[in-house]
């Protein structure tokens, strides 16, 4: 049997601001992100395995992505920890807001690389992350492919 790719889609709401940016995105704003996670592997052939015929149970993939990305970033505000936004982050945290400080500019491009690292680290050894697609708006998205990052 050959390799099969399966995809699971997720959505979450996240705010962010791009410090030093020369456009509107320097202001705190939010997006309704859509994340498509595609993994690749051989379907299970062991007839005694309850997951016979699956590359990975969609529920197992969902658990990984929810724990590493969705539950962390949903309804949070993301700031680069190396910018003056840290002061705003402290104030928001004091007001019981969910704030995430990252060591990168929180663009879709950087977030998707962060997500890829987190998801890859949790996948079973026989399953590989094939690609991610992070849609920021109806017409804009970033894509990550394992083949581009070997």
d(CA 132, CA 102): 20
- What is the H or E stretch that residue 56 is in? none
- DSSP per position, 101-133: EESS---HHHHHHHHHHHHHHHS-TT-EEEEEE
Contact 123, 115 (CB under 8 A): no
Active site (annotated) includes residue 136: yes
d(CA 1, CA 9): 25
Catalytic residue among 16, 68, 85, 136: 136
Catalytic residue among 42, 75, 91, 93: 75
Active site (annotated) includes residue 126: no
Q: Is 144 buried (19+), middle (13-18) or exposed (0-12) by CB count in 10 A?
A: buried
Active site residues: 25, 75, 136
């Amino acid at each position: 049997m050959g390799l099969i790719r399966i995809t699971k889609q997720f959505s979450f709401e996240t705010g962010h601001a791009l410090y030093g940016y020369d456009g509107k995105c320097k202001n705190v704003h939010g997006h309704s992100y859509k994340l498509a996670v595609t993994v690749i592997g051989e379907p299970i052939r062991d007839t005694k395995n309850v997951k016979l015929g699956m590359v990975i149970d969609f529920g197992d993939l969902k658990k990984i992505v929810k724990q590493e990305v969705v539950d962390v970033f949903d309804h949070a505000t993301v700031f680069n920890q190396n910018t003056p936004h840290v002061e705003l982050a402290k104030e928001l945290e004091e007001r019981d807001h969910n704030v995430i400080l990252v060591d990168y500019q929180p663009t879709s491009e950087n977030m998707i690389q962060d997500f890829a690292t987190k998801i890859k680290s949790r996948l079973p050894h026989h399953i590989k992350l094939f690609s991610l697609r992070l849609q920021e708006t109806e017409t804009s998205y970033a894509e990550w492919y394992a083949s581009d990052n070997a």
